[in-house]
Copies of this chain bind each other. A is one copy, B any other.
Amino acid sequence: MMRQSTAPRQQYDAAIRRLTALAPLEAPDISALQAAIGQARVVPARRELLQEGRAIPEPLLIVEGWAARVRILIDGRRQFLSFLLPGEMVGLCRHGQPLAVSTVVALTDMTVARVPDCAPDSALAESLAVSIALEEAYLLAQIARLGRLNAQERIGDLLLELHERLSLSQIATGGSFEVPLTQEVLADAVGLTPVHVNRMIQLLRREGLLAWKGRRVSLRAEETLARMVGRSPVRVVGQTAVPSAA
């Protein structure tokens, strides 16, 4: 519970780094963000931030930790629709009386802040709009992944995407990053069985494409892996959204 509040200040900047990467923010926007983040609150793992079909209380900015959009079928089958990472938004929506179209659950302990109000044509507004566009792009990628990739490709492709997204906030550097995912959660994200996910990860390991120890994932031969699953980076604006770091 208290863990978050003792985290180094530096870590709280991931969200700002991401939003600045999406549209170059100026001082006023940044201080508004910092103010909002200063009042961030903690959400424990497994807590639901939004419930499908219920009203959306207020849009949130993820400062730290992971969440996921999830759908549970009546017979208990579970599908994670998307992951939500630091610097990304929960429940941004712009029509009146909005209902959540999916439940959102915290995968880890999280820190979340209110999204500050901003003028319609500010850089922050642009950044949020790009963020929304990216979110849609990630949903489309998830559809193609589930529809047309085989088990190994799905896992490789998802890990590449997570790396790309974490690179935006510079949480991931040089092909290595922390994922708070059990193989069971991963299975429910890529539409497979935990057992089969396990076997495919081992296969990727044996092929030297992946190291996964504890929560740390390292992508070896990122290029090879990307070519193997036929993946190209997600873009929604003129320049590539991913900084050329690494």
The residues of A with any CB-CB pair to B shorter than 8 Å are: 53, 69, 71, 73-75, 77-79, 81-82, 93-99, 101-102, 126, 129-130, 132-133, 136-137, 139-140, 142-144, 146-148, 188-191, 230, 234-238
Report, nearest first, the 6 A-B pairs whose CB atoms are least far apart: A147-B191, A95-B129, A146-B146, A101-B137, A79-B147, A79-B148
For residue A199, give the distance in angstroms from its CB to the closest CB of chain B.
18
* Shortest Cβ distance from residue A77 to the other chain B in the assembled complex, whole angstroms: 5
Contacts of A136 in B (CB 8 A): 101, 136, 139
Q: Judging by beta carbons under 8 Å apart, are A78 and B148 in contact? A: yes
- Interface contact A237-B99, CB-CB below 8 Å: yes
Chain A interface SS verdict (over half): mixed
Please name all residues of chain B whose beta carbon is closer than 8 Å to the beta carbon of A190 when the two chains form the complex. 147
Least CB distance, A164 to chain B, in whole angstroms:
14
Complex: chain B residue closest to A190, CB-CB: B147
Question: How far is it, in angstroms, between the C-alpha of A94 and the C-alpha of B137 when the chains are bound?
Answer: 14
Contact A71 B129 (CB under 8 A): no
Judging by beta carbons under 8 Å apart, are B235 and A140 in contact?
no
Residues of B within 8 A of A69 (CB): 140
When C-beta atoms are compared, the residue in chain B nearest to A191 turns out to be: B147
Known A-B contacts A136-B139, A143-B139; the reply to A191 vs B148 at CB < 8 A is: yes
**Beta-carbon contact of A71 and B142 below 8 Å:** no
The CA-CA distance from A96 to B23 in the complex, in Å, is 10
Contacts of A102 in B (CB 8 A): 140
Provide a sorted-by-A list of 19 A–B residue pairs whose CB atoms are within 8 angstroms.
A53-B235, A71-B144, A73-B144, A73-B148, A79-B148, A81-B143, A82-B143, A94-B129, A95-B132, A97-B238, A98-B133, A101-B133, A101-B140, A101-B234, A101-B236, A102-B140, A143-B143, A143-B146, A146-B191
Bound-state Cα–Cα, A98 to B181, Å: 33
Contact A98 B236 (CB under 8 A): yes
A71 to B234, CA, bound (A): 13
Q: For residue A186, give the distance in angstroms from its CB to the closest CB of chain B.
A: 12
Q: Could you tell me the distance between the alpha carbons of A75 and B227 in the complex, rounded to whole angstroms? A: 11
Contact of A95 among B95, B126, B147 (CB under 8 A): B126
Closest to A74 in B: B230
Let me know if B73 and A230 touch, CB within 8 A.
yes
